[in-house]
Chain A
Amino acid sequence: MSATIEKLSEVVIKFAGDSGDGMQLTGGQFTNAAALYGNDLATFPDYPAEIRAPQGTIPGVSGFQLHFSSNEVYTPGDYCDVLVAMNAAALKANLKNLKKGGIIIANTDGYDTKNLRLANYPDGVNPLEDGSLDGYKVYKIDVTRLTRESLAEVAGLGMKEKDRSKNMFVLGFLYWMYNRNMDFTINFLNEKFGKKPDILEANLRVLKAGYNYGDTTETFMNRYDVPKAKVEAGTYRSIMGNQAVAIGFVAAAQQANLPLFLASYPITPATDILHDLSKYKNFGVETMQCEDEIASICAAIGASYGGHLAITTSSGPGIALKGEAMGLAVMMELPLVVVNIQRGGPSTGLPTKTEQADLLQAIYGRNGECPMIVISCSTPSDCFDVAIEASRLSLEHMTPVMLLSDGYIANGAEPWKFPKAADLPTINVKFKTGLEEGEEKYLPYKRNEKLARAWVLPGTPDMQHRLGGLEKDFLTGAVSYDAENHERMVKVRQAKVDNVADYIPAQKIEVGAEKGKVLVLGWGSTYGSIKSTVLELIAEGHSVSHAHVRYMNPLPKNLGDLIKQFDHVLIPEINNGQFIKIVRDKFLVDAKGYNKIQGTPISKTELKSFIIENYFSK
């Protein structure tokens, strides 16, 4: 009855079940309760690739991983301490990521002959019975039966509807196990099902039944407590990367005092940005769902010409289609932000898995000499700042920018101590509305100190001009086939992008000394893994530092010098080695790569052992 309460500093729970088992909701509820309680945390959902993958099979497993802690958290965790496996397929798909000795909470109803067969267990084999899980603590609970029993007196609901609340049983049980208050979820249910009293009643009952089950069953002797983290004081919210991109652009538009225009075509994992921005019409946001990827970037170019902060969002395959139009924006020297939420490639590749394999495409992947500013996001909340920064660079330098995020941070969530609107940077945009003193004639391609040309909106009297994709005269912008003019224009477009380095912050060392043996140099979503790995290595006395690059093109001016303070440079990437090519090319250093291309983030465990083995084992 009175289980002992053990203190833990951190826990990783994986909620896994069939798509219909409600694991995303269960995980999300537990996450919010943990955040409210004061833990630091990070989460990552893991959806099936097919919308309607067959029930009970491994492709149909949906998962949600939560890492919560009394310390700072940088990743959703490599291995889990607790695996909630609602059926045999969920167990089979996730067992390899469960720590030795970890806890399995199994819904025994999901392990009947049919489910075992669907999960491809050989005939007659049940992992819950055959001793193969002896190295783990297995809690077998017949969740389906217990759910039905707790709803025996609730009339008006069919068996199917009753069974639908079984995720609440698991949630209640976990709340008991981690000694958590259920108020958050009770409030949530009241709000969600307020108009459906039967369903509300059922969910509340089952939630409490799960909690009480822990309390009254002798089987479970252990409860755990993960104390609050010492996080910075302030007001927080939970944020996912794609949400942050969307509100980041709304903020950028407001800071630039421009209307925001998004044209997009749905594509995983970028679509949520289109969904979110479509909800923000009250902020004047204009969203256009186009007939294809090409139309969407072209529509955005049209809106940019018309004086909007114009963006288009996509993922690798869509970015490939937008290539020619990006070249047009580079040539017409109009602002435009192209968002690439990277996924596994090539071709259709792995739509729901993460990868950082579009970096070279972003920097080099267009016809002709076609430089673009490229900046990357490192965490879900960082996406907010990067969206503003991408807009700033594009608008102030009058050139398109590519923003790189990926599926991992797009869908991952973390607590965010969000800024006040009043503290956001201003973006300076000035339309040219007429000739200035001493100016005789409007020269559309005349440049300022940033090498940016002036932005003149159609509708401005006496400033009519024509823009296009043909090579332009250096000053007048008229079509020019002149050989020397072409070379000059290629160089000036490059210089314009290169000069952005004068308007971005210097590269910092994230953790560790400014000089030492190994620099782990990362970019994008590997931030959390690298940072937590390096922190551990430093704590163990190793000479390792971490620097994380946001500005991929152009690179910060001091990056070369920063790198040269270290004996070794290691570049971990979720690709076959892309940033490493650029670093080697630009700085002539013998950087090494750590590359994992399995559609999943790099884990702290593997990176740490790689670093120790390669640099610190002698």
Chain B
Amino acid sequence: MSTAAVLTAKDFANELDIRWCPGCGDYSILKQVQTVLPQIGASIENTVFVSGIGCSSRFPYYMNTYGLHTIHGRATAVASGLKASRPDLDVWIISGDGDSMSIGAGHTIHLLRRNLNVNMLVFNNQIYGLTKGQYSPTSEENKVTKSSPMGSIDHPFNPAALALGADASFVARSMDRDPKHLQEMLKRAYNHKGTSFLEIYQNCNIFNDGAFEIFTEKSSKKMQTLFVEQGKPLIFGENNELGIKLDGFKPVVVNLNEGHSIDELWIHDEKDLSKASILVRMFDNPMLEGDHLPRPFGVFYVNERPTYESAFHNQIASAKGKKAELDALIAGKETWTVA
């Protein structure tokens, strides 16, 4: 294996021309990944990026690691076979909302329930970019696109809630426009032993520009987003004056300047499945008039449970105690001899 020389982001990049549209949110994600990998001590040759099809799935080409650009929706399945058979490798799955929530949704949920120790990054831009702009399974209702001139009639998936429903052992959300937060989430995902599901809001400035503007722009970000941190109360707002408290199972917004105390607030506990279920369900459409909850970002849920590949190889290791002679296998249990 290669020397333990100190690596930098550059070591993980290669000289290939990047073909994403100028201004695409993918650039930022690529940069944060390249920045984070040396910080977490990843090795170039033991890292494999596996992608499906879509704009985001070009990602492995821009990494100086091993990589597979597979077929639409199947990165999860290819990565499962790779990680199960080669637990020594660091496997990252790069997928988009179409790839992981539509054509490959079937594999996504099975990856999550099996809990292979891989990191799955879902670049959610709520649109099909590579095919030039059709609504995706995460597009909001009534979205006007080339394939939905009268507005889409499909109800969207909420990827984080879907992942939690599929028993993911790590569920988090971040955004392309907040490098610091994204880097933090990438590190958390990498350090989690099990499948880490990280949804990243990514702007497609060509076909769905500004889809997440309300969460990313300075003018609205503070009021519309809620960054959760382990052990901390849920607080947001221009001057952190707003908080979330639980009224039974119902999250409600309270103003700390209007008689509410910080002690009433919901304290984030990423190990609490029930609370995580409420958190990922905080999915109000911010464009709607009237009161609504902010959109949460951060690590919603973490649960350490055995990984698929460890159970897979434990079984083999324990079976290996039994004799394994090829001649005996070929002969089977009953033989007879003809003189």
Contacts and interface: CB of A to CB of B under 8 A. Distances in A.
Interface of A: 32, 35-36, 38, 231-239, 243, 247, 250-251, 254, 259, 261, 263, 280-286, 288, 290-292, 294-296, 298-303, 305-308, 310, 324-325, 327-328, 332, 384, 418-421, 458-470, 478-479
A250 B329 contact: yes
A468 B2 CA distance: 25
Most A CB within 10 A of own CB, among B68, B86, B330, B335: B330
Interface in B146-191: none
Given A288-B81, A299-B84, A470 B89 contact: no
A418 B330 contact: yes
Contact of A421 (B64, B80, B327): B327
A84 B131 CA distance: 64
Interface in B176-229: none
Contacts of B2: 461-462
B181 to A, nearest CB: 28
A99 to B, nearest CB: 29
**Those 6 A-B pairs whose CB atoms lie nearest each other, nearest first:** A299-B81, A468-B69, A302-B81, A302-B82, A298-B77, A281-B319
Contact of B46 (A36, A233, A251, A459): A459
B320 A284 contact: yes
B325 to A, nearest CB: 8
Interface in B37-77: 44-46, 48, 50, 53, 60-61, 63-71, 74, 77
A405 to B, nearest CB: 18
Interface in B70-98: 70-71, 74, 77-86, 88-89
A311 to B, nearest CB: 11
B54 to A, nearest CB: 13
B143 interface: no
Main secondary structure of the interface of B (DSSP, over half): mixed
B331 interface: yes
Contact of A281 (B60, B65, B315, B326): B315
B338 A261 contact: no
Nearest to A292: B106
B80 A299 contact: yes
Most B CB within 10 A of own CB, among A288, A295, A324: A295
B316 interface: yes
B323 interface: yes
A467 B79 contact: no
B249 interface: no
A233 B338 contact: yes
Nearest to B90: A458
B288 interface: no
Given A282-B322, A298-B74, A251 B330 contact: yes
Given A462-B45, A469-B53, 14 more contacts: A236-B337, A237-B332, A237-B336, A263-B81, A284-B316, A295-B77, A298-B80, A306-B86, A420-B327, A421-B325, A458-B48, A458-B66, A466-B68, A468-B60
B80 A295 contact: yes
A115 to B, nearest CB: 35
A236 B336 contact: yes
B80 A302 contact: yes
A204 to B, nearest CB: 20
Contacts of A254: 326
A478 B338 CA distance: 59
30 contacts: A38-B336, A233-B339, A235-B338, A236-B338, A238-B332, A250-B329, A251-B330, A259-B85, A280-B324, A282-B324, A283-B324, A285-B316, A286-B85, A290-B80, A294-B107, A295-B77, A295-B80, A298-B81, A302-B80, A303-B81, A303-B84, A306-B85, A458-B66, A459-B86, A461-B2, A462-B45, A464-B65, A466-B69, A468-B61, A469-B70
B329 A463 contact: no
Contacts of A282: 319-324
A238 B334 contact: yes
A283 B330 CA distance: 12
Given A294-B77, A464-B45, A302 B85 contact: yes
Contacts of A294: 74, 77, 107
B78 A301 contact: yes
B85 A234 contact: no
A155 B84 CA distance: 53
A467 B67 contact: yes
Contacts of A470: 69
Chain B interface bracket (under 10, 10 to 19, 20 to 34, 35 or more): 35 or more
B329 A283 contact: yes
Contacts of A263: 81
Contact of B1 (A234, A281, A461, A463): A461
A551 to B, nearest CB: 24
B110 interface: yes
Given A295-B110, A302-B80, A466-B61, A328 B70 contact: yes
A286 B89 contact: no
Nearest to A295: B77
A327 B74 CA distance: 13
Given A236-B338, A237-B335, A467-B67, A325 B319 contact: no
B336 A36 contact: yes
A285 B326 CA distance: 12
A261 B81 CA distance: 9
B338 A232 contact: yes
B326 A310 contact: no
Contacts of A464: 44-45, 64-67
Nearest to A261: B85
A182 to B, nearest CB: 16
B74 A235 contact: no
A578 to B, nearest CB: 27
Contacts of A462: 2, 45
A251 B68 CA distance: 29
Contacts of A280: 324, 329
A504 B323 CA distance: 34
Nearest to A300: B81
B213 to A, nearest CB: 32
Nearest to A478: B16
Given A233-B338, A282-B323, A421 B86 contact: no
Contacts of B332: 237-239, 243
Contacts of A231: 338
Nearest to A418: B330
Nearest to A288: B84
A305 B68 contact: yes
Contact of B107 (A36, A281, A295, A468): A295
A35 B338 CA distance: 10
A305 B66 CA distance: 10
A332 B332 CA distance: 37
A299 B45 contact: no
Given A299-B77, A461-B1, A469-B71, A237 B64 contact: no
Contacts of A478: 16
A190 to B, nearest CB: 14
Contacts of B338: 38, 231-236
Nearest to A248: B330
Nearest to A296: B77
B84 A247 contact: no
A535 B69 CA distance: 54
A460 B44 CA distance: 10
B110 A235 contact: no
B101 to A, nearest CB: 16
Contacts of B88: 459
Contacts of A232: 338
B316 A286 contact: yes
A21 B321 CA distance: 39
A463 B66 CA distance: 8
Contacts of B319: 281-282
Contacts of A286: 84-85, 312, 316
A421 B84 CA distance: 28
A331 to B, nearest CB: 10
